[in-house]
Structure formats: C-alpha cells, structure tokens
Structure 1
C-alpha cells in the first residue's frame, strides 16, 4: 500500500503536533474536576440554568467525572481538535493533491484511482485512531488524580465514538475533494457534516418541535447515550458506517471524474 505508507510518513509530525494539543487540553481541564465539579457547586450553578441550554451544552451530568469529561473534552474540545485535523487531512488527500499536481503523477505510475482513494481513507482512519487512542491513554492516566471514577471500558467506547464521529467529517472532506479536485470544496463538505450534525443535535435538545432531527445527527449518535457510562454500540457503529459510505463515495467519484 504505497499511498498509505507515504501519507503516514509525510504526516507523522502533524499527528504528533495534534497529540500535543490534545495532551495540553486534557491536562488543563481534567485536573480541575475535584475543585469545580465534584464539590456540588458547579452542579448547583448548572441547575439554575434553563434545561434546554444545559442539554445543548452537554452539561446535564457535569457534576460527575464522566459528565465532566464528556462536556469539556469528548463533546467539545476533543471533537473540535480531531474534526479540524481530520478535515484538513481529508481535504488535502485528493483535492489538495490534484491542485498541487501530485495526483496526476501518482495515477500515472500505475496507481489505481479506487485504491488511491481507499488508501487515503485508510490513512485517515490510522491517524485519527492514533489520536483517539492517545487521548484515551491520557484520560486513563488522569483518571485517578482527577477523581473522575471512569472505567477502562467506558473510556474505550468513548474514544471509539469520538474517532468515528470525526472520521465521518474527514471522509466527507475526502469525498468533496474527490468530486471537485479542489481542497476548499473538501474542507467545506467536511465542515458541513460536522456543523450540521452538531446544530441538529443542539436543536433537538430544545424540545419536541425539533426532536425529529436527533436521528439525523452524527453528533447525537456519538453522545446521545453517554459513551463513558452507557455506550450504544449500534449508534456508534452508524458513525463508522457513515464514514465507510463517504470513503466509498470518494473512490467512486474519483474513478468517474476526469483528472487533468
């Protein structure tokens, strides 16, 4: 798999940089839980806010270690960091490669279009999975000192959900680049999946009027049932299925499109 090997070799520094960012965020937020979360004061403040706002922010159970971890990292900063990384990689893989002229050179050296797209998708899986695994290890390392009371199984499921959610946006960016040959279109496509999914979940939290949006939100698939305490394998599996659909679409779009 030459395309996969090259993609990973060329991006390892970026992976390390994103890992440092994840470490910084976790080291900043999680150790604060004993002082602002577990003493009940934070929960009292949250209880005074409108229920719809609390649900939208994901602060329903912020007084617990699992709720605090999901509200501050998994559903917020971790989601943002991995989504940005994934969309950047996905948009550059085909759309950016064509703009730079590399795609034509690669395809001219007996690299099939379908295999090229699928290997780029696999590179996205490897990079995001590496970041997700790193985040999980850091969370487990801080679990005891931060008094979060998390289980290993819950952390594993949460990281699988986070990687699946961000991979969906990354592969959407890959498909956008494959369809257009332009990096900016890939970025827009991936960002649209992430933002629309987040907004659909936020609106669904406002009451019965928009509750019908919840089944269409990848963000809700990941976090509607808290993965740290009550993971829903079926919903998490849908995230990975959606990512696979986008990856297959990228391969088919690149196969059909004229490159040149």
Structure 2
C-alpha cells in the first residue's frame, strides 16, 4: 500500500465520487436558479429599486452595492452567498472527516498499521481535500460560463476564472482549518467547529467592516474580503486580488504544515 503513488488520495477520491457529484449538481442547480433571472431584474431597473429601498447598512453588509451589474449580481447571489455557503459546508465536512473523523472511527489506526507514515496521512488528506474542492469549483466555472451569455451577465473569461479561484481558495482555507484541527485533536466535532468558525468569522468581519469607518479595520482580518473585496468577477486578476489570495495561500500552507506537525506529535486514538 505504501509503495503505491498517492494511495490514500486515490482511495479517498475513489470512494467520494458520489459526494463530489452531489455537491457539483447542487452548485449547478444554484447557478440555474439565480443567474438566468438577472435579465428580467437587472435590465429593467427592478434590482436598483429594491436595493434603494433597503437600509444602506444592510446593502453594505451583504455586498449588494453593485448588484445591478452582471458581475455584481453573480458575486452577490452565487459566488459570495449561496455558492460560498454550499462549498463551505462541503469543505468543512470533508476536512473534518479526513483525519478527525477517521481517527474517531478507528480507521486511521488501521491505515497507519499498513506502513503509511503520519506525514503521508496528513499531506495526502490535504491533497484529497484540495482535489475534491477543485473538481466541484471546476464544474461551477463551466456552469457560469455556459450561463453567462443567456443570462446577459457580461462576464469575461478572466473574471470568471478569478472569481472561481477566489472562491476555491476561500473555502479551501476553511476546509484546511477543519482538517488541521482534526490532526491536532483527533476530534471530528472540534474540526467542524474550527472550520465553520473560520468561515463565519471571515464573513462577519467583512460585514461589520462595511458598516462604518470605525470598524473598517475588521476587513483587514477577513479572508472573505481578501478574496472578494477586489471584485474579481468584474476586475479579473487585479493587483489587490493577487495580494489577498497570496495571504490565503500562505495561511493554507501554514495549516498544512501544522497538520503534519500535529499528527506526528501525539498519540493516535487517545
């Protein structure tokens, strides 16, 4: 088993195809639900009327400032809201199950008994999570491009790529937080709490930072703002986006290293 190339990753991906297919179908369904209605609302000014009737604080908190544009609408409804929620649930659930869940069920001890090193377990778990999320996000990207013309969104390919990559890295951070917590504690419940906490706090800091100048500093602590603050769907790979995504990648790398150190320095199953 240990002599094969990426045996744990291949096994995990092979048994998770139903989950990947299900989450992909869910994101396609969300795309079909939200994007095609933009022409009937954005072009007629109906969205502007709705937004103008809302409190300015609410509009800023939910990022509805540019919802009347195609890119702003896709960002506010799909990428920054329902897509973010669905992918976060998938990422955190998968991340919590890969080490913490395996340890709680006794599967991890059996895996280690076959000569697989703990470092290999952690690294291949991270790779498995990254590939799963990558596959689902690739499906979302194709769905958005397919609906771009009929939905009159006016997205460029660069913008769609930038938005999808930003969303991917953002949810991957939450998933890695869950996975790393499992490597440190062996607890699936704590892993779920940690991953969800990263996502919720990032969203909350961004929303609070949009409320007033006095709270603006909170946006600097929000991975959500690092990913979506530069409006990647509209601006593409802008300088601000590159810097924010570099911070997320750096945190993901730190979590991977921590997961390796965590799982190698404690007793498994205790």
Task: State TM-score, norm by structure 2.
Answer: 0.94
Query: Is the aligned partner of 1:233 residue 2:242?
Result: yes
Partner of 2:3: none
Partner of 1:177: 182
Aligned-residue RMSD, C-alpha = 1.0
Q: What does 1:1-260 correspond to in 2, within 5 Å?
A: 1-230=6-235, 231=237, 232-260=241-269
Deviations 1:108-161 (A, max 9, x none): 111111111111001111111111111011000000000000000100010000
Task: State TM-score, norm by structure 1.
Answer: 0.98
Offset, 1:199: 0.5
The farther-off stretch of 44-53 and 55-64 is 44-53
Offset, 1:241: 2.0
The farther-off stretch of 37-46 and 197-206 is 37-46
Task: Please give the alpha-carbon distance, in whole angstroms, between the structure 2 residues aligned to 1:94 and 1:77.
Answer: 27
Offset, 1:237: 2.2
Offset, 1:49: 2.4
The farther-off stretch of 230-239 and 146-155 is 230-239
Deviations 1:42-63 (A, max 9, x none): 1122123232211111111111
Contact 1:161 1:239 (8 Å CA) reproduced: no
Q: Which 5+ residue runs of structure 2 have no aligned equivalent?
A: 1-5
Aligned-partner SS, 1:229:
helix
Task: Please give the alpha-carbon distance, in whole angstroms, between the structure 1 residues aligned to 2:253 and 2:131.
Answer: 14
Question: Runs ≥4 in structure 1, deviation > 6 angstroms?
Answer: none
